[in-house]
Structure formats: C-alpha cells, structure tokens
Amino acid sequence: MTDLHTDPVATAAPEATIAPEAPEAPEAPATDAPGAPDTLVHGLYREGEPIVDTKAPRGPIAERWNTRKFEASLVNPANRRKLTVIIVGTGLAGGAAAATLGEAGYNVKSFCYQDSPRRAHSIAAQGGINAAKNYKEDGDSTFRLFYDTVKGGDYRSRESNVYRLAEVSANIIDQCVAQGVPFAREYGGLLDNRSFGGVQVSRTFYARGQTGQQLLIGAYQALERQVAAGTVEMFTRHEMLEVVIVDGKARGIIARDLVTGEIETHLADAVVLASGGYGNVFFLSTNAMGSNVTATWRAHRKGAHFANPCYTQIHPTCIPVAGEHQSKLTLMSESLRNDGRIWVPKNAADCEKDPREIPEEDRDYYLERIYPSFGNLVPRDIASRQAKNVCDEGRGVGPKVGDFRRGVYLDFTDALKRMSAEAVAEKYGNLLDMYQRITGENPYEVPMRIYPAVHYTMGGLWVDYDLQSSIPGLFVTGEANFSDHGANRLGASALMQGLADGYFVLPNTIRDYLAKGPFPKLEESNEAVVEARASVDARVQKLLSINGDRSVDSFHKELGNIMWEYCGMERSEEGLLKAIDLIRGLRDEFWRNVKVLGAADTLNQSLEKAGRVADFLELGELMCIDALHRRESCGGHFRAESQTEDGEALRHDDEYAYVAAWEWGGQDGAPTLHKEDLVYEFVEMKQRSYK
C-alpha cells in the first residue's frame, strides 16, 4: 500500500504529530473488535463498529428537546466564573455562543482569524433565515419546517436534531429583533416574509440581500457587549492550529498570533469549534479567502470523527469563472430563478454567437424541457447537474477557460417584457448591478451567464445530540458540524442552524459537561500540552524550510481542479480512485516542493495559506474515500453508477440510510468507517421526483 499521509513533520518528529487513539467514549467505540481480520475495502479504508448517538432522548419528538434541557445538569452561577470555554469562530454559530455563555457568566475566550469578529463569513449570506413563525397563516408549523428540512436533506439527517432546529427557530427571530436586527418590514410595521428555495410556505425572514450581515452584526454586538463586561476575551487575527487533549478530554488549543507569529497555548475546561465550512478544498467556491478546515481537521487527527465529508452543496446561480486568475466565485441569489429563464443554444455551433441573435427555435430551455412542472425552479442539485451536463455536451456559453466553456444563460428578456425594467430593478436591482460590476455586461440588455459553484458543506465533525464530538469536551457547532442538513441543505436553513446552535442549543447542552468541572488545573508544562505546541512549531518550521519551486496557490488550484473534476457534481468509482491517486501525488510534492517565503515571527500570509492547504490535501482524500464508499445518489451527492433510466438520482435507503463517521487512521494508516443508522419514526422516506 502506498504511503497514505506524507506529512513529513511526522516523519521528522513522530512523537509530536501522531494522533493518539480516539478516547474510549461509550458512544464511539474506536477500534475494530480484537482479532477481526483486518481487510481494507478498495485498499483504502476499513469498516469499524457502528456508533450511536446516546444523548438523544426517546419519546414523542416534540418533547425531546425539553426533556434533554431538563435532564442536562445545571451549573451553579457562582461556579460559572471558574469555568473557561474556548470558542473558535465568531460567525453566527460561534459569535452567538460566545455572547450567550458570557451573559451566563462563564469565562469565554473567543478566536477568529480576521481582524474583527464581525467579518466571519456568515456576513456574506444573502437570502434569508427560516423560522416557523407562521406569520402568514399559510399552514406553516414546527412540524412542517421539520418535515421540509428532513425531506430537503434527502433523508440523511437525524429526526431529533432537525425537529429541535425547527422548534427553536421562532426564538431566533425574537432574539434578533430584540437586538436591533433590521429585518424587512411591511407598511404596518410587522415583519415581512418570503418563500425561498422551492418551499410552499413563506417562512423566510430577510434583510434585503444582506441577511447574514445583519444577523452577524447582531451577534457581534452582543459579543462586544460581553467583551466590555469582561466575560469574553477576544483574540482576533489568531488561528487555531491544534487542539490540546489531556486524559482523553479536550482541554485547550494551540493558536498562532497572526500579527506577531507567536505560537500561544490557551487552556480551558471545554473547547467549541465553530469554524465554518470547508468548501475551499475546491479552491474556487463562494467561501471567503481564509475559510479553512484546519480547526476541525486537526481535531479529526486527534480522534474526532468526521461525518459525511463528501456531502457538498453546489449552488446553481453563481457568476462563471472568467479566467485563470479567478480567486473566488460570487453567488447570486437563487431568487433570480423565479423570473429568469435558463437556456443554452441547441447547437454547439451557436455557442460563440451573441445570444440575442439566436432565434427562439434554436434555444434549449433545458430545465423547462426536462422538468415541465418545476421548470427553472427545480432544487439546487438538479439545476446544477443539468448545467454541467449541457456544458459537458459542448453547449456551454461565455469565454473559454482552458478549452472549455462553463456557463449557461439566465435570461431576463421575458421578465423585462412582462414586468417593465423598473419592476425588475425594484426586485433584483442589487443583484443585477453586482453582476454588471463583476462581468462588465449589462443584464438588462444581454442575458446573464451563470454556472454552479461550491457553496456549502453539509459534512463536518460528527456530533451527538449535545453537539459534542467523539472527543469529550470538544463541541462543534454551525457549518463545522454535520448535524442537521443531511445530504442537501435547504435554502435559508444554515443561518437558522448557526444561530440555533449558538444561542439556544449549545449553551443548554454544554452545561451538562461543564457541571462535571472545573477540571484539574493544567500547567503549560504538561506533557500533552508541550507536545501539541511542539508539533505546531515543527510544522511552521518545516513549511518555511522546504523552499521549493511552487507557490502554495498553485498547489491549492491543482487540488481544487481534481476535487471539482472527480468529487464535484458527479462522482464515479473510476474517477474517485483516480482522484485519490492524484491527491496523494500532489500531497507528496507539496511537502517536497512548496515555496513559502518570509519569516515565522511576523505577519506571513503565505505561511497561513500553506498550513490551510496542507490540511485540505488530507481532507480531499477522505472526501473522495467517503464519496467512493457511498454508492448511491442522494442530495448533493450524485453517483454515476446509481441513476434511474432517465438519468435521475437513485437513492438506496436499504444500504445507505446512515451517517458515515470516519475515524482518523493515523499517519500511515487507513481511516475507519463507523456507521450511525438513521431511523425514521415520524417522516416516511420517499424518493424525490420533480418531473
């Protein structure tokens, strides 16, 4: 077998980086039964014991969350000051949790890599946030939001978690309004709602196209209020590079001060990771430049299971790649599909023509053709995949990037005739202006071009109902965990999950753990602490000393291409096996040939990027292995080998209705798959059909 993980720091200092065995948590048996024959599937991974979520209460679904809140131990207010909680991330999930735990009187240390907590990538969310308020009296309810989310997730999420999410959604809106979040309102002064992402009720609250920004500023202000009150200590421009585990429990982090370069040790009674999604493994995505997997990946290497890593959401309406220089992709709200019509030329020969000169009969409105009842409003995964299909057939439009055109038209001509330019501008003006700014083309005159882009990752660290990972004392919230969206996320539900986790769920569940503390005081000289810190130091020195020929970005781009090509919208066994090979080769070259200039003891953005890309190079392989093992099409995961006769996604509930939780296999080992069965008691599993 080839060398699986060629991070040479570990070769240089094996003691420092080899992950310890996963702690023997009862809910996560870590190893195979002793004596079981050790066979590797595909030569890549082994199957381990199943896992179960022991924290979810049984009984009627509507009572489970109340039961858990009641059963979770309380922490005496006088003791809270003595308990320290580290929270990595200041997006909706981390910012809301830091503010709330600070208000409750815990001692909180909050970290972000940006220069201010207000800049976390939650800020970029446009469309809105769902909540089951039923303000429109259109038949919405907690149960309906629960039902839609489970169905939207293609029956690959946990019922208990999703129900809780729907249940607390209404409290989120109350909380945000009280903080001064300026949601859109009607003339009567009450809150406005819209329908979003193909659901039939209007339950989405929004603040023009800047909902994420306004929600995050609410959480940020609550957080800064606690900084002023002295309950939260804020560490901006700090990047977490390792988690500290002592006696099987998460007890702190190692972080680099990005300004001075100093490697710092921060110790605590519990650690929360709210570090966002890992879509940047694809290099091009709608994520921020600094979005990374480092925080969760480092925890994975120390024993936290990584669940469903291959579940990626690809958003159909993004501005296409313009050239090799492209550094990120910009999303345009999918509300554009309400009035725009999507098409490509029928004949590849027309692809270079001015679209306005292509007559109606030579256009293929392919979504309207294939899905007459849903047309342009089919779900995200279907719209994305069909766009890829027509481009793969050679009917893509727009400039060639490489030797390929990746783009389809999103045409407002009919809408402009039907509604007047003013009405279109009123409804979509800011989006159309953004399009014009980026592309230099006027969408009121020329059809826009769109193409799918990586947008969200449903996978993440495995957590139980309490949001605790398989490492005791390590909690994971927001996009960084895997918990609520199954194989596909509904629009406007990530903001809901981030704030649900941060304001309402984590503060209630973490107390059950903290009630056992304060844990024995740790010294920085503790062996495990010293070791964690030394491994970070060694890695920084290693990255700076290679001094090869290739920039970090060039590796990142190459990895992104591999992931997009073979682990993107459509995956096949052959492609995934090839990708794994390519990634291993690339990772090997990275550690021999990357060129990182500058010093360790100063602001060094190349060094920051290098560490992130090194972790993406390991994650990418696990994503491919996960995609390979899941031989079904579900949600955002389309497997070429599993489709119906007319090319639609085919799920296999009999074989794959489980969460795939991966255990790190050690430096040169293979990962172990633990399955958590998904049991549906309240929702019946159905195949999706949009024809």
Partner 1 sequence: MNLTLKIWRQAGPKSKGEMVTYPVSGISEDMSFLEMLDVLNEQLNARGEEPIAFDSDCREGICGMCGLMISGKAHGPEVTTTCQLHMRSFSDGDEITIEPWRADAFPVIKDLVVDRSSFDRIIQAGGFISANTGAAPEAHSVPVPKPKADRSFMAAACIGCGACVAACPNASGMLFLGAKITHLGELPQGQPERDARVVNMLTQHDDEGFGGCTNIGECSSACPKEIPLDVINQLNKDLRHALAHGE
Ligand X SMILES: Cc1cc2nc3c(=O)[nH]c(=O)nc-3n(C[C@H](O)[C@H](O)[C@H](O)COP(=O)(O)OP(=O)(O)OC[C@H]3O[C@@H](n4cnc5c(N)ncnc54)[C@H](O)[C@@H]3O)c2cc1C
Footprint (CB under 8 A) of partner 1, residues 302-321: none
Minimum CB–partner distance for residue 505 and partner 1 (Å) = 11
Nearer to ligand X, 119 or 395 (CB): 119
Nearer to partner 1, 176 or 532 (CB): 176
312 binds, among partner 1, ligand X, none (CB under 5 to 8 A by kind): none
- Residue 449, classed as helix, strand or coil, is strand
Nearer to partner 1, 274 or 382 (CB): 274
Minimum CB–partner distance for residue 116 and ligand X (Å) = 10
Question: Mind spelling out the 3-state secondary structure of 234-256?
Answer: EECCEEEEEEEEECCEEEEEEEE
Query: How do beta strands 448-457 and 408-411 pair?
Result: antiparallel
348 binds, among ligand X, partner 1, none (CB under 5 to 8 A by kind): none
Minimum CB–partner distance for residue 585 and ligand X (Å) = 26
Footprint (CB under 8 A) of partner 1, residues 266-305: 288-290
Nearer to ligand X, 321 or 625 (CB): 321
267 binds, among partner 1, ligand X, none (CB under 5 to 8 A by kind): none
638 binds, among ligand X, partner 1, none (CB under 5 to 8 A by kind): none
Footprint (CB under 8 A) of partner 1, residues 408-427: none
Please spell the DSSP secondary structure of 526-580, one letter per residue.
SHHHHHHHHHHHHHHHHHHHH--SB-HHHHHHHHHHHHHHHHSSSB-HHHHHHHH
Q: Which stretch binds partner 1 (CB under 8 A): 149-157, 327-335, 463-471, 488-496?
A: 327-335
The Cα 103–Cα 232 span in angstroms is 9
Nearer to ligand X, 276 or 517 (CB): 276
Q: Which of 66, 116, 373, 644 binds partner 1 (CB under 8 A)?
A: 116
Nearer to partner 1, 413 or 436 (CB): 436
* Closest to 53 measured CA to CA, from 420, 557, 462: 462
With contacts defined by CB under 8 A, how many residues of the chain interact with partner 1?
80
Q: Which stretch binds partner 1 (CB under 8 A): 73-81, 112-120, 359-367, 651-659?
A: 112-120
Nearer to partner 1, 58 or 185 (CB): 185
Q: Which of 21, 27, 224, 362 binds partner 1 (CB under 8 A)?
A: 224
Q: What track of x and - describes contact with partner 1 for positions 595 through 634 (by CB under 8 A)?
A: x-xx---xx-xx----------------------------
Residue at shortest CB range from ligand X:
91
Q: Quote the DSSP letter at residue 604.
A: -
* Closest to 676 measured CA to CA, from 52, 55, 27, 58: 52
Minimum CB–partner distance for residue 227 and partner 1 (Å) = 5
Q: Which of 161, 193, 195, 236 binds partner 1 (CB under 8 A)?
A: 236
The answer to the question of residue 442 lying near partner 1 (CB under 8 A) is no
The Cα 443–Cα 421 span in angstroms is 11
The Cα 421–Cα 441 span in angstroms is 16
The answer to the question of residue 130 lying near partner 1 (CB under 8 A) is no
Minimum CB–partner distance for residue 335 and partner 1 (Å) = 17
Footprint (CB under 8 A) of partner 1, residues 533-552: 551
Ramachandran bin of 110, using left for φ above 0, alpha for ψ from -120 to 50, beta for the remaining angles: beta
Please spell the DSSP secondary structure of 390-423, one letter per residue.
HIIIII--S-EETTEE--EEEE-HHHHHHH-HHH
* Closest to 7 measured CA to CA, from 593, 667, 625, 580: 667
Q: Quote the DSSP letter at residue 111.
A: E
494 binds, among partner 1, ligand X, none (CB under 5 to 8 A by kind): ligand X
Nearer to partner 1, 327 or 525 (CB): 327
* Closest to 132 measured CA to CA, from 62, 201, 63: 201
The Cα 485–Cα 479 span in angstroms is 10
- Give residues in contact with ligand X (CB under 6 A): 88-94, 111-114, 120-122, 124-129, 211-212, 238-240, 274-277, 286-287, 292, 294-295, 331, 455-456, 478-480, 492-495, 498
- Residue 637, classed as helix, strand or coil, is strand
Nearer to ligand X, 265 or 275 (CB): 275
Q: Which of 132, 207, 344, 494 binds partner 1 (CB under 8 A)?
A: 207
Query: How do beta strands 672-677 and 658-663 pair?
Result: antiparallel
10 binds, among ligand X, partner 1, none (CB under 5 to 8 A by kind): none
516 binds, among partner 1, ligand X, none (CB under 5 to 8 A by kind): none
Helix (H) or strand (E) holding 682: none
Q: Quote the DSSP letter at residue 663.
A: E
- Which stretches of 420-454 are DSSP H helices? 421-439
- Residue 40, classed as helix, strand or coil, is coil
Nearer to ligand X, 10 or 131 (CB): 131
91 binds, among partner 1, ligand X, none (CB under 5 to 8 A by kind): ligand X
- Cβ neighbours for 634, distance < 8 A, ≥ 6 positions apart: 154, 155, 156, 487, 488, 649, 651, 656
CB contact at 8 A, 591 and 618: no
Question: What residues form DSSP beta bridges with 41?
Answer: 45
Q: Residues 491, 282, 291, 129: what is their CA dihedral angle, to the nearest 10 degrees?
A: 0
Show the tokens assigned to 366: 């392919």
Minimum CB–partner distance for residue 287 and ligand X (Å) = 5
Report, as residue numbers or ranges, the catalytic residues. Answer: 380
Minimum CB–partner distance for residue 165 and ligand X (Å) = 11
The answer to the question of residue 214 lying near partner 1 (CB under 8 A) is yes
640 binds, among partner 1, ligand X, none (CB under 5 to 8 A by kind): none
The 3-state DSSP composition of the chain as helix, strand, coil percent (nearest 5) reads: 40, 15, 45
338 binds, among ligand X, partner 1, none (CB under 5 to 8 A by kind): none
The answer to the question of residue 401 lying near partner 1 (CB under 8 A) is no
